[in-house]
Structure 1
């Protein structure tokens, strides 16, 4: 992996994206920004097992949940290297893929209503949190955006584009980044999404870890324990069967048998609090409980781990991969980072009382036990730490102190 794997973006576009990323103007009720759940301090995530979107307050692990209707059903993933040219599928369940099935370049929840002109899959991804009720849009009765999304998924994007273009400083920046735009009415959500993607690409590009330097032939950059861990990773531990290639991900879907909790990503006809993963998008029974293989650079910065953030440490998720049954027996609800939410607390672990559902999830397992000593587990964890970029804790673009909307930046 090197800079040639990433598209170039002009500075005005990146700067527009930087401000939008931190501006609550893109949320239905102007109370949450992209950066609220994807913070630089937490490796592009939020440090929580399940995110707190609309109705929450604060940021990161200190974000409060008293006013929310529902926890976000899945862990907020880090954003490292999502601008890489080879990324072809996003979200834990892969509901966004590069595809021509709908004539707009992507298979997505918006189907044929996803607008054309998006520069990348990352730009397409940027549009969907804005339409998610419990993430940024708000409820149908809470405001214009939430109501529009309730009518049809694409109905909110013109509202948000008009909202942004009505801010004089934003419109001037849009004109600078997109010279073809002449009037406010010509600004679309595609312009906003392409700017957000440009910022995320530049901000979260990372390939200067000891592992990357080792691949480039620099001698002695891996500590002995990390080198031992790399040999296990690509050998007896079997990690590279899924965490493969340049991205350290096969971009496929696998069932890991993680501890179940949270509201689940429920479907209209399947309202119990479970998460069937890829099956919800593919409608294939064989995809049940399978989730996308995450990329691993800077993984040490993005705790907690798993599609639902079940494990607070790298050691925990490594040990789960090596022996899922023993890991499930050890896991306790207290391991989940879930800020108190009394109104919805009864839902948090309700699924664990459903013996049949727990049996179905336990039976859908794509990983086999791989016995390792404690020292070997430590070596694997050391290797995962060697995937941390030397500049990952000093991102190139600082969060703005103010944003053009005048709202408190996220």
Structure 2
């Protein structure tokens, strides 16, 4: 609870109401400003992708609050932004959708963040040594400055996201051999651009010449950008915590429900509104699934794919709710188009799962994927396994109460969320077009 509102309630002799916590700059990892500026350019530069046709910003765009506005993204080979993005055509058209929703970037530089990706496959093992568990295992580069830097490496190795298909370019060919083999190729591309080379020398004290730049410095610069650019803790709710500024009446009712009857705070707690844990909420599955090598069913077993523990089946990381009103659609696969529909599902996962309809998903039509997008729903055994795994208890809420909780979640939107410090660069040093 913020100091201001706590003092107010104590001075009035009132019991402290249930609430969360606010944040300050001191709660975030310290990043270098020059590295963040360099990271901004890299974030929007398609030079990091195998075919030089997609950037980090394509799926995490400023104009879309750090997401792409789709349930399942259209990655490498696609054209355009957001819900207007198409799947391409000819030999370069996409072969499948991205299996999961593009997660928002808000407050990922907070010191409390312990795991990233929906399944937590990038985790902090020792924050003093910046030691991480990742899909690269022993091949992860040394010297990464944060979990954000570790995370930034992996979209570059994904054929569907940024690397491209085998045979299309030297990056994806190298990655196909071993996950770390593509990173030196990308690093050479970047450091041989004269403007980038000079910027790295200026931004990193240990870099004396462009030839010294590795994928570690590239990832660290991107982390510095994400970690500073998407900080947000100036919402109406933060104002309420700090100095008692009243919330709108419906949002105040929603706050009491959120921290009371609705039990939302049991998972969405702390300053990030996330317990950093994993839960099976029973979202209806569709798309290609994030399949494992030995599992040919187009499903997504979530955390279990990381831990190999059956108890983790269909569990996904609790997302932060800060600026959640800006980042539709919702869920690890973007199954629900509105906050209201997502709240309804979380209140009664079993019933809302049955009511869900495919038209609720934001999936630009891709004719050659029509027969595949919803095929998993026809597997009654798999559907039963997913339903059995649900660990979110039912809470009975009225329509009006759901509306009030939605109003409270809107009060978590930061005042500066649409006007971030650096924004989208007009150009990037590679000369490639900026989305």
The TM-score, its normalising length taken from structure 2, stands at 0.92
The question of 1:110 aligning with 2:132 is answered: no
Deviations 1:237-276 (CA, angstroms, capped at 9, x unpaired): 1111000112110110000000111100001100110000
The question of 1:177 aligning with 2:206 is answered: no
Residue matched to 1:382: 407
In 1, the alpha carbon distance for the partners of 2:126 and 2:106 equals: 26
The question of 1:50 aligning with 2:75 is answered: no
Deviations 1:312-352 (CA, angstroms, capped at 9, x unpaired): 00000000011112212221101111111122221100000
Deviates more, 1:302-311 or 1:139-148: 139-148
In 2, the alpha carbon distance for the partners of 1:382 and 1:270 equals: 42
SS at match of 2:243: coil
SS at match of 2:181: helix
Residue matched to 1:186: 212
Deviations 1:42-101 (CA, angstroms, capped at 9, x unpaired): 111000000111110001111101410110000001100001111110000010000159
In 1, the alpha carbon distance for the partners of 2:344 and 2:132 equals: 36
Residue 7 of structure 1: CA displacement?
2.7
1:327-406 correspondence to structure 2 within 5 Å: 327-406=352-431
Answer whether contact 1:104 1:114 (CA < 8 A) is retained: no
1:81-120 correspondence to structure 2 within 5 Å: 81-100=107-126, 105-120=131-146
Residue 305 of structure 2 is aligned with which of 280, 283, 301? 280
SS at match of 2:123: strand
Query: Cα distance 1:53–1:16, how it changes in 2: closer, same or farther (>3 A)?
Result: same
In 2, the alpha carbon distance for the partners of 1:44 and 1:357 equals: 33
The question of 1:244 aligning with 2:269 is answered: yes
Residue 97 of structure 2 is aligned with which of 33, 56, 71? 71
In 1, the alpha carbon distance for the partners of 2:130 and 2:268 equals: 29
In 1, the alpha carbon distance for the partners of 2:305 and 2:418 equals: 36
Residue 104 of structure 1: CA displacement?
6.2
Residue 185 of structure 1: CA displacement?
2.7
In 2, the alpha carbon distance for the partners of 1:11 and 1:98 equals: 24
Residue matched to 2:171: 145
SS at match of 1:334: helix
SS at match of 1:97: strand
SS at match of 2:37: helix
Residue matched to 1:8: 30
1:210-221 correspondence to structure 2 within 5 Å: 210-220=236-246
Residue 174 of structure 1: CA displacement?
0.4
Deviates more, 1:41-50 or 1:320-329: 320-329
Deviations 1:141-173 (CA, angstroms, capped at 9, x unpaired): 111001011011111111111100000000010
Gaps of 5+ in 1: none
Residue matched to 2:56: 34
In 2, the alpha carbon distance for the partners of 1:113 and 1:100 equals: 17
Residue 11 of structure 1: CA displacement?
2.5
Deviations 1:334-372 (CA, angstroms, capped at 9, x unpaired): 111111112222110000000000000011111111111
Residue matched to 1:408: 433
Answer whether contact 1:104 1:115 (CA < 8 A) is retained: no
Residue 184 of structure 1: CA displacement?
2.9
Residue matched to 1:122: 148
Residue 233 of structure 1 is aligned with which of 252, 258, 273? 258
The TM-score, its normalising length taken from structure 1, stands at 0.98
Number of aligned pairs? 408
Deviates more, 1:327-336 or 1:311-320: 327-336
Residue 182 of structure 1: CA displacement?
2.0
Residue 394 of structure 1: CA displacement?
1.1
Residue 259 of structure 1 is aligned with which of 284, 298, 305? 284
In 2, the alpha carbon distance for the partners of 1:219 and 1:187 equals: 49
Answer whether contact 2:130 2:146 (CA < 8 A) is retained: no
